[in-house]
Amino acid sequence: MSPALEKQWIARVIVDGDPDAFKALVRLHQSQVRQFLRRLTQQDAALADDLAQETFLQVFRHIGSYRGDAKFSTWILRIAYHQFLQHRRRRRGKEELRESWEDQAETASSEVAAGTTANLQLDVERALAGLSEAERAAITLCYHQDATHEDAARILDMPLGTLKSHVNRAKEKLKTQLAAWRNDHDK
């Protein structure tokens, strides 16, 4: 898919509200948005898809405000992240969520350290689940969504330095939690 074609679709949606062009845009970006939201929601596929639908509805309503100064995918992921944050505020208080993350981090650490899982990919998923929301979002964007640090900072609405700190902190945590696999790899 050429960027020119994507721009055509965007223009058709802005000018005419063309549902066919919008559907083409949804098809193009749905996988990336749904994957990103699945990571944020701890692989809750149903919730992630609900949030993805809301994201695209917001995209349709506000597409006129897209200025083209960032990639369209970056703009959509930013909206997706905001949808996730809104959902989180509605569903839980911050303290409760933090406790939840801490619980998950503890569970993830103990499971990985105890070697109760045989599969590296499962351990990676569990280790990712143990990160804070910002760290997980930063790692997901930089490693799995092909975003530059600048794009990721824009999506997460944080300064570039903060984003890099989250990435580095997340990598340190992951290295610690996956140390057993690293040692096996060296043998």
Partner 1 sequence: MTNDKNQPTDLQHPDDQWLDQVLAKAVPTYLDDQGFSDQVVTRLPKRRRFVRPLIMGSAVSLGVVSAGLVFRESTVVATILEQGLRASLNPSVLTVALGLLVGFVVFVGALAGEA
Residue 45 Cα to chain centre, angstroms: 13
Binding of partner 1 at residue 143 (CB under 8 A)? Answer: yes
Q: Binder to partner 1 among 51, 79, 108, 128 (CB under 8 A)? A: 128
Record the tokens describing residue 124, joined without a space: 């990676």
Decide if 129 contacts 108 (C-beta within 8 A).
yes
The stretch among 1-9, 67-75, 86-94, 141-149 that binds partner 1 (CB under 8 A) is 141-149
* Contact assessment for residue 128 and residue 104, using Cβ atoms and an 8 Å cutoff: no
- Among 14, 42, 47, 60, interactor with partner 1 by CB under 8 A: 60
Q: Identify the residue among 34, 126, 136, 166 touching partner 1 (CB under 8 A).
A: 34
CA distances to 90, 94, 166, 173 from 179, rounded to whole Å, are 37, 31, 19, 10
Whichever of 82 and 181 has its CB closer to partner 1, that residue is 181
DSSP tally for the chain: helices H, then strands E: 10, 0
Q: Smaller CB distance to partner 1: residue 18 or 97?
A: 18
Nearer to partner 1, 17 or 161 (CB): 17
Question: To which H or E segment does residue 137 belong?
Answer: helix 133-139
CA angle in degrees (0–180, nearest 5) for 154-121-161: 25
62 counts as binding partner 1 under rule CB under 8 A = no
> In the stretch 82-121, what mask flags binding to partner 1 with x, by CB under 8 A?
--------------------------------------xx
Residue 51 is a binding residue for partner 1 (CB under 8 A): no
**Smaller CB distance to partner 1: residue 33 or 105?**
33
The type of residue at 24 is A
Considering the rule CB under 8 A, would residue 182 count as an interface residue with partner 1? yes
Going by C-alpha positions, the residue among 31, 28, 42 that lies closest to residue 103 is 42
The rounded radius of gyration (Å) of the Cα atoms in the chain is 18
The type of residue at 13 is V
Residues lying near partner 1 in the complex (CB under 8 A): 17, 19, 22-23, 26-27, 30-31, 34-35, 38-39, 49, 52-53, 56-57, 60-61, 120-121, 124-125, 128, 139, 142-144, 146-149, 171, 174-175, 178, 181-182, 185
